[in-house]
């Protein structure tokens, strides 16, 4: 069983897809714990509804980020977590946390990095007048949305798109892309970059025939 932790601060729609499609639907992936920094986050409710253990690490309860992340890493390690999935986790992880899970922390971003990093990837793409955007799943490093790309999928931005209409298509694409990447990790089909490289090798022959 490939054990993952999902870290989420908000609504957790991606968590829900992971629960439905992988935790409940795939024989080899288990969501061992759902972690949030926000007490009362909808993501925690979704986990509880699926009988998945939850843990909350609000920054205010600790001396600082390092202490908080140390406690969080201890809990994940004790639970045998093999992959840490950030799905709308709105906090930076400390380098000390990342060192404990080398190439085992991934993030979902609603744009084609390195375009439109940060918290407003969808809005920024619309404001910029981009014609193509998409979603990125990448390894997390010490920067903001700067780690090596694992998978990217693109979609067109229509001239009459609003932030809301584009967001709806981006989220649908995220719900397709993130579970697939987790599945590929579970199957050992993701090879992290060599020391002097950023190239992640992904052994996936499945071609998406969905038109976004």
The residues that are catalytic are 109
Nearer to ligand GRF, 113 or 200 (CB): 113
Handedness of CA 69, 9, 7, 199 (dihedral sign): negative
Shortest Å distance, C-beta 18 to ligand GRF: 9
104 touching ligand GRF, by CB under 6 A: no
**Ranges within 131-190 binding ligand GRF (CB under 6 A):** 174
Shortest Å distance, C-beta 71 to ligand GRF: 23
Pairing of strands 54-56, 29-36: parallel
Q: Which of 18, 34, 87, 125 binds ligand GRF (CB under 6 A)?
A: 87
The stretch near ligand GRF (CB under 6 A) out of 13-21, 51-59, 150-158, 190-198 is: 13-21
Contact 59, 68 (CB under 8 A): yes
Interaction pattern, residues 105-134, with ligand GRF; x per rule: CB under 6 A: ---xxx------------------------
Distances (CA, A) of 55 to 63, 67, 73, 120: 18, 15, 12, 27
Residue at token pair 């920024």: 124
Nearer to ligand GRF, 1 or 132 (CB): 132
Nearer to ligand GRF, 68 or 109 (CB): 109
Interaction pattern, residues 25-64, with ligand GRF; x per rule: CB under 6 A: ----------------------------------------
Count residues contacting ligand GRF (CB under 6 A)? Answer: 13
Q: Which of 13, 36, 94, 177 binds ligand GRF (CB under 6 A)?
A: 13
d(CA 120, CA 113): 12
Closest residue to ligand GRF using C-beta atoms: 88
Pairing of strands 105-109, 29-36: unpaired
The residue ranges that bind ligand GRF (CB under 6 A) are 8, 10-15, 87-88, 108-110, 174
């Amino acid at each position: 069983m490939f054990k993952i932790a999902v870290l989420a601060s908000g609504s957790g729609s991606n968590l829900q897809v992971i629960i439905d499609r992988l935790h409940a639907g795939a024989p080899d992936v288990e969501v061992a714990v759902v972690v949030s920094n926000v007490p009362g986050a909808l993501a925690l409710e979704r986990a509880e509804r699926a009988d998945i253990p939850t843990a909350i690490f609000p920054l205010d309860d600790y001396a600082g980020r390092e202490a908080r992340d140390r406690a969080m890493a201890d809990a994940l390690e004790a639970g045998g977590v093999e992959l840490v999935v950030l799905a709308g986790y709105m906090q930076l992880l400390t380098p000390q946390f990342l060192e404990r899970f080398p190439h085992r922390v991934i993030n979902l971003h609603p744009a084609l990095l390195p375009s439109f990093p940060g918290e407003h990837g969808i809005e920024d793409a619309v404001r910029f007048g981009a014609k193509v955007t998409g979603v990125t799943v990448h390894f997390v490093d010490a920067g903001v949305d700067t780690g090596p790309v694992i998978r990217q999928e693109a979609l067109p931005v229509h001239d009459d798109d609003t932030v809301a209409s584009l967001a709806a298509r981006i989220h649908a694409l995220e719900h397709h892309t993130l579970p697939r990447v987790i599945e590929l990790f579970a199957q050992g089909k993701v090879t992290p970059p060599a020391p002097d490289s950023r190239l992640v090798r992904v052994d996936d022959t499945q071609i998406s025939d969905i038109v976004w």
